[in-house]
Amino acid sequence: MTIKQRLFISHILMIIIPVLLSLLASVIAFLMVWRYFWGLDEGAMIKNTEFRAQYATVESLVIKWDTEKTTDAEVVADMQHFKKTNHSKNIALLVYRGDKLISSVGEVTDQKMKETALKEEGEHSYLKDQTFLTTFDTSNYKIILINSNYYNDLYYQDPLWDRDYKAMLSRIIVLVVILILSIIFITSRVLTRYLTRSITDPLELLTVGFYKIREGDLQYQIQYTKQDEFLPVSKDFNGMARQLKEMMDNQNKLETNRRELIAGISHDLRTPLTSIKAYVEGLEKGIANTPAMRTKYFTIVKKKIDDLDQVIAQLFLFSKLDTGEFPFNLVTTTSKKLIDEYIGFIQQEYELNGLTILLEPTDQNVSLEVDPVQFRTVLTNLFENARKYVDRNDKQVVVSYEVVEEQFILSIIDNGSGVSEENLEDLFELFYRDDRSRTNPSKGNGLGLAISKKIIEGFNGTIQAYNHPAGGLAIVITLPVKSKRK
């Protein structure tokens, strides 16, 4: 779920949840009011309805009689009217002036309760079993109202129950309002906390990741799987960490190559320079004291200078190839013309120098876009390596090519002892030479294969080396085919 969706749902829930919970609280409050005033005692309230009307009538009479002008005759008359209109068999109404009974309606079932009420000063109410008694005082009279069939409605003992109802209802309304506000506050806190954590947690992961990267732990990866806006950020962070690691590895590799380059240049320049210095000193000190020796010394010095010139020229070529500044003269030519004709031209020369070049016949002839001069430089470098490093008297290379899925594949396999597996990957590195060539620097300077790789890559191709199962080193060059020719 995305953060936008969470925000939207959170806002909806901020409305829905408080409304639902508020409705629930209101329903509960209503049930509480109903239970308090009409619930379990609803039957009692209904049964006491007649008594409440009688009680209200008595209250009206009490108010009427509460004056000095009221006469006993008037009281008796009102009592007769009450008997006709409001009296029931369970009701008794008695009016006393002092201890004298002025008038009464109905029968008193509990004389002791009546006597107790007469003795008490002021207005009182009594409840015993199903008998309810209440007293009223006026200036001249004491009135006693008795209900012998009163239902024990504890919540309605005071017939003026409307006042209790309103007070209770007010308290419940206040509680409901407080409850609704609490629901809104708690809902807001919970949803805000959930939403905040959905943002802060991934931010904390990113912060930890940045600290790890800053401390140099480039292998650190953020583990985040939620489908939200932070997922692509986490993936980009992990991709950045991988790229940084690759950059650092490349930087370290470049630094290693730089050191090896300096060491290689120093080695390949120092060796001929040392020889030149030695022979020049021999000439200077008169060691070469015959014309023949001086001629020999001069010849050696000239050859060493030519070697230096070749190393410098190859370094210059590699530098231009490495920076992409070398101007390739790309033309479209055929494999027959590029390879078959060139091998036919140099076969005899190499055979005189101890290397046999065999070209496997093929009918395939495809078009390639290359720089013919530089491509032949590559072939020359490969043939020269075979001539120098194959440790056999019958030195031989087999050249073959084929076309597979629009790719031109050229294989050059010698009959030497190959290269150790751990050194295969370094074979095309600058100044790389196997242990045998290092013991004999005159055989090569480690630039040929590095230059060959740069040239082939300039043609959008690849060059690889592997040990052939039948023995010997195999160099495989792959180039894109421009078009096929029959």
C-alpha Rg value of the chain to the nearest Å: 58
pLDDT of residue 219: 81
Q: What is the mean pLDDT of each run of 10 residues along the chain (486 residues)?
A: 67 77 78 60 60 88 90 93 88 92 91 90 85 91 90 49 59 79 80 75 80 80 75 81 83 73 66 81 83 86 77 67 72 91 90 92 89 88 88 91 91 89 75 46 61 87 89 91 63
pLDDT of residue 2: 64
pLDDT of residue 458: 87
- Cα dihedral 83, 88, 89, 91 sign: negative
Give the CA angle between residues 381, 345, 406 to the nearest 5°. Answer: 65
- Cα dihedral 450, 455, 460, 461 sign: negative
pLDDT of residue 44: 53
Per DSSP, 141 falls in state: -
Give the CA angle between residues 78, 80, 84 to the nearest 5°. Answer: 115
Query: What is the enclosing helix (H) or strand (E) of 306?
Result: helix 291-323
Q: In what order do the strands lie in the sheet with 395-404?
A: 355-359, 395-404, 407-414, 473-480, 462-467
Residue from 441, 389, 438, 448 nearest 274 by CA: 441
67: Cβ–Cβ under 8 A, 6 or more apart, which residues? 138, 139
pLDDT of residue 435: 43
